[in-house]
Amino acid sequence: AQSVTQLGSHVSVSEGALVLLRCNYSSSVPPYLFWYVQYPNQGLQLLLKYTSAATLVKGINGFEAEFKKSETSFHLTKPSAHMSDAAEYFCAVSDLSNFGNEKLTFGTGTRLTIIP
């Protein structure tokens, strides 16, 4: 069974400051990891994904995440927060145990607030 833990349901950072959203996973097989962002009244949008290639993954809007197997972590970072980054962020894990119909298991989400 797979699971994802997102530490901190709410994170507030000042505009221009570093954004760090934490995600730890549990998986019995090599995982595929994802970060999604959800803006108010919109669907989830893929920020980035790790699929066993490079451990440092770059995504859209200046976000990146690093897969650390030893720490079972996939934390999301952005060097300088922008007001438009305010949203809900979800970490998710999947594998290839059901080829073509892989399920995503989501974390509980982290609401990011940017302080002007």
Partner 1 sequence: GAVVSQHPSRVICKSGTSVKIECRSLDFQATTMFWYRQFPKQSLMLMATSNEGSKATYEQGVEKDKFLINHASLTLSTLTVTSAHPEDSSFYICSARQGIGTIMNTEAFFGQGTRLTVV
Does residue 58 sit in helix, strand or coil? strand
Residue 36 corresponds to which tokens in the numbers above? 């999604």
Q: Which span (12-20, 22-30, 73-81, 98-106) binds partner 1, by CB under 8 A?
A: 98-106
Residues 72-91 that bind partner 1 (CB under 8 A): 90
2 and 17 in contact (C-beta within 8 Å)? no
35 counts as binding partner 1 under rule CB under 8 A = no
106 counts as binding partner 1 under rule CB under 8 A = yes
Neighbours of 42 (CB within 10 A): 10
Decide the pairing of beta strands 10-14 and 110-115. Answer: parallel
- Which of 18, 96, 113, 115 binds partner 1 (CB under 8 A)? It is 96
Q: Which residues bind partner 1 (CB under 8 A)?
A: 4, 9, 32, 36, 41-46, 51, 90, 94, 96, 99-109
